[in-house]
Amino acid sequence: MSEPLEALVGKLVELATLEPGTAARRLPPERELGEALQMSRGALREQLAVLERLGFLHRTQGRGTYIDAPGDDFVRSWFTISRQLGYLTDAQFARSRMLLEETVAEAAAGLVSDEQVELLRADVDRMIAATLSEDHELALEADVTFHTRLNSIVDDPILRLMHDGFSHVLRETIRQRRLQAVEVEQPDDRGIRRTDSVHYAVVEALAARDGDAARRAMHQHFEDWLQLGVDDRLR
C-alpha cells in the first residue's frame, strides 16, 4: 500500500543527501528508494510524479532527482481550474485579493526603503501616462508591476504565492475593469482618473512609514472600483 503523500515526504527528506557546498537535496535512485520505503516501483513512481507536478521535485538527466522549492505554477493551476469548475468565483477571488493587498500595504510600510518608494511612484507615473495615451495594455502592466513590487517588499513566500495566483486568475478581469473605468469615470482637470491616481495615496503612506494609512489607501483603491459600479460582483 502506498504511503499518504505527506508521510512519504517526511521519509524522503530523511533519505535525501545534501550535496556538498549547495542546498540541493538529492534522492537515492528509485530502486534504492523503493527498498528503503518498502514500496513497489510503480507506487513510488506514482507518488514522485505527483510531487513533481506540484513542483516539489525536479529531475536532472544524468544526475538524479532533487527535492525542490515549488514555484507558483501549481497555485496558478489550482486557482484557474477551481474557477473553471465553478468552485471559486470571481467575487471570491477579488475579495480575497483586496484583503491580501490591504495586508501587504500595511506590512510594507514598516519595511520599504526610500528607493522602493520612488520605484513605486514611477510605476504610478507610467500607469497614468499610459492611460492618458490610451495605451491600456501598458497601463495594465504598470498596474500589475506596482502591486507585484509592493508584494516583493514584504517578501513573504506564502503571500507571494497568493499574490501570483490572484494576479494570474484575475488578469483578464483587471484588464476589462480598467477599460470600463475609462468609459465611466470622470477624469480630473488634468485628464487623470482616480482609479489610477489613488495609487499615489498608497505611495505617500509608505513614504511616511504609516501602516494604517497604507491599509486605508489600499482599501480606498478597491472601494473606488465599487463606487464606479465597474464590478458589482465584489459587493
Residue 57 phi, psi dihedral angles, 5° rounding: -135, 150
* Average pLDDT of the segment spanning 7-35: 88
The Cα angle at residue 98 between residues 112 and 76, in degrees rounded to 5: 90
Same domain flag for 109 and 200: yes
Q: Which of 67, 90, 119 is the last residue of a domain?
A: 67
Q: Which residues contact 193 (CB under 8 A, 6 or more apart)?
A: 131, 181, 182, 185, 186, 187
**Could you say which DSSP state residue 72 is in?**
S
56 plus 24 within the same structural domain: yes
Same domain, 166 and 57: no
Q: What is the mean pLDDT of residues 4-9?
A: 87
Same structural domain, 116 and 223: yes
| Domain identity same for 9 and 61 | yes
Q: Are residues 210 and 196 in the same domain?
A: yes
Domain count, the chain: 2
Q: Which helix (H) or strand (E) holds 88?
A: none
109 plus 211 within the same structural domain? yes
For residues 198 and 190, the answer to whether their CB atoms sit within 8 Å is no
Q: Do 61 and 116 fall within a single domain?
A: no
The CATH number of whichever domain residue 46 belongs to comes to: 1.10.10.10
The 10 Å Cβ neighbour count of residue 53 is 12
CATH number at 157 reads 1.20.120.530
**2 pLDDT exceeds 50?**
no
Residue 102 and residue 84 share a domain: yes
Residue 39: all three cell numbers together: 514500496
Residues of the chain with pLDDT > 70, as a percent, come to 94
Sorted by sequence, the CB contacts under 8 Å of residue 119 that are 6+ apart come out as 149
* pLDDT (0 to 100) of residue 228: 62
For 174-233, the pLDDT digits (tens) are: 887 787 777 777 777 787 888 888 999 999 999 999 999 999 999 999 887 767 654 444
Same domain, 98 and 195: yes
Q: Which residues lie closer than 8 Å to 126 by C-beta, 6 or more apart?
A: 138, 139, 142
Give the residue numbers spanning the domain of 123: 73-234
Q: What is the mean pLDDT of residues 150-162?
A: 94
Q: What is the pLDDT of residue 163?
A: 92
Q: Are residues 111 and 190 in the same domain?
A: yes
